[in-house]
Chains A and B, each alone.
Chain A
Amino acid sequence: MSNQKYLIRGANLLGEETADILVADGTIARIGQGIEADGADVVEAQGLVALPGLVDVHTHLREPGREDAETVETGTRAAAAGGYTAVCAMANSNPVADTAGLVEQVWELGRQAGWADVHPIGAVTVGLEGERLSEIGAMADSRAAVRMFSDDGKCVHNAVLMRRALEYVKTFDGVVAQHAQEPLLTDGAQMNEGSVSADLGLAGWPAVAEEAIIARDVLLAQHVGSRVHICHVSTQGSVEIIRWAKQRGVDVTAEVTPHHLLLTDESVRSYDPVYKVNPPLRTREDVEALRDAVADGTIDVVGTDHAPHPVEAKECEWACAAMGMTGLETALSIVQQTLVETGRIGWGDVARIMSTEPARIARIDDQGRPLAEGEPANIVLVDPAAHRVVEPEKHQSKGRNSPYRSLEIPGAVQATFFKGHPTVLDGHINTPRALVAQAD
């Protein structure tokens, strides 16, 4: 373990009080005013907001199988650059993460990379085929200690199977994260069904195909007394159903992506496949409803759905392009732009929706902790006054499919401390934690 000490001087804790933070031995040693450096490296943080290290419940790391798109190493490096100290890796790798062996492999790759904790998400069904349950218990008992299960990319549309999965994960306080998409209503779907799809002649992905599954699953979760998590909520109707379910006491949590908080289906008029994503970009009304839902707590977390693709998967006709956008390195900025700068939430809420709640939902005990003495030193320092123009070619991710190319966005991560080690320092990617440990 690194014995390097850092003194973060004058940071704005959750955007409120200003204090110095002394980081030593991977933990927050002291928080207070006028702490002496005493041999520690000083990180000047005047004007920077300090948040607990971000946790992403929805990342596609692509390894194993599509190392041309992303690896655990590049994906977690991108996460660090975006202020994350933990990511949950989705199960739709190749082979699918449906066995204990595979989730342990991904977990181990993350440990070796040293940029952030990697918590694999286990597949609900074998091969994401939606036919029989995968070895959920074995994955839970593995070194990866999987608590979140999802067939993301595909919907667990068989109601009986979904019921069984919800019941089964209760054994170890797990959660099923549902990709809500009724498959028959979205056969061949290319974009949100509405006035833009009518104009463009692209097959529609109706909001009802998401809402119908969410309605079914919150009722199922209530019936069997289980926890259910709804991935990437994208419509106003979904928000209303989840709000209703929470009022009825259903143990449901919901996630929204940064891109659904900012972009609309109007972008698709360019036919540029960088805007092709699943669920699709929706309307202005949906965007507003999602922002409101984060503000009132209906939506619990922001998950990036970071989905890197090789260039050729997007340099083609819309219909044959892959779905998905990168997001790890821009998520915090988009949250700042759409939620903080619009006055809907404060930085304390940002910590809640991007760190505390994601960690709680995925049952990651040592992440999403408060900024307090004795806690693990997972800290991100963000400069909220900064502005930057997105250049995907400069991203740490292998993916160049950022929908924000050339857009000026607010906020910049100045430093990320991952268990006491700065993976990002002075606004630049630094070194992974593991390498430092070996050097000692």
Chain B
Amino acid sequence: MKHLLDTRDLSLEEAVQVLDTADSMAEVGTREVKKLPALRGRTVVNLFFEDSTRTRISFETAEKRLSADVINFAAKGSSVSKGESLKDTAQTLEAINADAIVIRHPASGAPARLASSGWISSPVINAGDGTHAHPTQALLDAMTLRQHRSRLDGRPTQGSDLRGMRVALVGDVLHSRVARSNVWLLSLLGAHVTLVSPPTLLPVGIEDWPVEVRYSLDEAMAQELDAIMMLRIQRERMHAAFFPSSEEYARLWGLTPERLALLDSRGAETAILHPGPMNRGLEISSAAADSPRSLVLDQVTNGVSVRMSVLYHLMTGPQEQDRIPALQRTS
């Protein structure tokens, strides 16, 4: 594993290893000295072409807990808005000898471009690109699901996958990088994934995805579910005729107090996940968000552990290549 661009690139062994390591990292957060020396003297750049305070803080915490030097680069004037090009930014980071680049970008594929272009030699970690992928989010979701099952059956999380778990991803799949990365990772780990979405918010061409597709949340919830993951509805979608009104969306695809009550009346062990930030009253009711089923804060905590794990695996071990010689940089 040289880069982390998409969960689709992970093997089962790698995925389980990242999760196992994340479990070990979790313990560091409970210590008085919340720091490991593993990345001392190494420089990690958080290259954010798109605002995301939550994700940046999570990465920054992970980097600092591993003793890395952290540089935050909020590149708002990206080439999308006719500022400095991705190439020039990348080469600048290469010139200051960044040891890893965490990139968040509104354009799908930008991290892949960075990793394959030859502009830089350091590992690239995708912190969310366009509507393509958000691999660390999917990993933290998997870690949270693994803990959830471990709490129920008492077996250790270490070394285990998610075989037999049933997870529903509900909402805007079309525009969701979280959904895509979870589809690949959760199914790789053996979970049964159901996508629940209005047909307007499902991509065309997902016949080959390893998922079950349903349009009705109530039908999906009629089955036993170990977890329901609510996807965020972007406010701007409401004006693009994907659904008639936010009220109708909330009624048909929201995790309403009524649907929460249904879970409670059945005594189901269904956990509720949400990648945040939540639109309370739209895709998720406050009753659901604040219920004991909600693992939203576990997700935030696990985000740090998972990102520590990813940084550790990508930044230690023999580096695959030496730095690009200065003479070749101009190409």
Residues in chain A within 8 A of chain B (CB atoms): 190, 193-204, 206, 270-272, 312, 315-320
Contact = CB atoms under 8 A, between A and B. Distances in A.
A318 B107 contact: yes
Given A201-B108, A318-B113, A195 B205 contact: yes
Contacts of B96: none
B203 interface: yes
B186 to A, nearest CB: 16
A104 to B, nearest CB: 34
B28 interface: no
A312 B109 CA distance: 17
A196 B109 CA distance: 13
Interface string B104-129: 01111110110011000000000001
Given A201-B108, A201-B180, A202-B109, A316 B205 contact: no
A317 B133 contact: no
Contacts of B79: 316-317, 320
A29 to B, nearest CB: 49
B205 A198 contact: yes
B80 interface: yes
B204 interface: yes
Interface in B200-257: 203-209
Contact of A271 (B85, B112, B180): B112
B17 to A, nearest CB: 24
A190 B106 CA distance: 14
B307 interface: no
Contact of A198 (B78, B117, B177, B209): B209
B87 A200 contact: no
Interface residues of B, number: 31
Contacts, number: 83
A194 B130 contact: no
Given A199-B180, A201-B132, A270-B116, A317 B205 contact: no
B85 A319 contact: no
B247 to A, nearest CB: 26
Nearest to B49: A317
Contacts of B112: 270-271
A317 B177 CA distance: 17
B113 A317 contact: yes
Q: From A194, A198, A312, name the one whose CB has the most chain B CB atoms within 10 angstroms.
A: A198
A322 B316 CA distance: 38
B130 A319 contact: yes
Contact of A201 (B80, B133, B208): B133
Contacts of A270: 112, 116
A204 B204 contact: yes
B109 A200 contact: yes
B107 A197 contact: no
A320 B113 CA distance: 12
8 contacts: A193-B205, A198-B203, A199-B8, A200-B132, A204-B205, A316-B79, A318-B107, A320-B79
Contacts of B131: 201-203
Contacts of B207: 195
Nearest to A196: B205
A196 B131 CA distance: 13
B299 to A, nearest CB: 22
B105 A317 contact: yes
B86 interface: yes
Interface string B133-176: 10000000000000000000000000000000000000000000
B201 to A, nearest CB: 12
Contacts of B105: 317
Contacts of A194: 204-205
Contacts of B130: 201-202, 319
Contacts of A315: 85, 87, 117
Interface pairs A-B: 4 shortest CB-CB: A271-B109, A201-B132, A201-B131, A198-B203
B239 to A, nearest CB: 13
Given A196-B205, A318-B107, A271 B177 contact: no
Contact of A320 (B8, B107, B116, B132): B107
Contacts of B110: 317-318
Contacts of B107: 317-320
A315 B208 CA distance: 31
A241 B61 CA distance: 58
B206 A320 contact: no
B203 A197 contact: yes
A271 B115 CA distance: 11
A317 B207 CA distance: 28
A319 B112 CA distance: 13
Interface in B52-109: 78-80, 85-87, 105-109
